[in-house]
Amino acid sequence: MGNYYNIAFHILNDRVLVKKQVFSEKESFDVWQDACVSVDDKELRLFVDDQYITLNRQYIVRIDVRKVEDPVDKEFKRKETVNEVMKKVSDWGI
């Protein structure tokens, strides 16, 4: 079973490119590959925020991977919380 991750590509000029909510079933240190459209020896190609981006591998300083909550579960919990609040308010007679 896979998990969702936010993957941050740190580039030499102190910029950070973040790909959010990437689903992967790979091991933690290989998850960054699922954020890429394609990978070769010299470049990583990504699609982030409706943009196609090519990163030269020699300028990538670090890649951070952070496990995040499943977006479907997160939305379900949010709706559940709202329903609980509405029930409480309605019980108070407001």
Q: What is the CATH number of the domain that holds 57?
A: 2.30.30.100
Mean pLDDT of all residues in 66-89: 73
Domain membership of residue 84 (yes or no) is no
Query: Does the residue 26 lie in any domain?
Result: yes
Kindly compute the dihedral angle of the four CA atoms of residues 76, 77, 79, 85, in this order, to the nearest 10 degrees: 160
Three-state SS sequence of 65-93: EEEECCHHHHHHHHHHHHHHHHHHHHHHC
Asked, for residue 34, whether it belongs to a domain, the answer is: yes
Provide the whole-model pTM. Answer: 0.72
Domain of residue 35: give its range.
3-68
Domain count across the chain? 1
Question: Which of 3, 45, 47 is CA-nearest to residue 24?
Answer: 3
Predicted local distance difference test score (pLDDT) of residue 64? 95
Q: Is 11 part of a structural domain of the chain?
A: yes
Q: What is the pLDDT of residues 48-65, one digit of tens each?
A: 989 999 999 999 999 999
Please give the pLDDT value at position 81: 72
Tens digits of residue pLDDT in 9-51: 999 988 999 999 999 999 989 999 999 999 999 999 999 989 9
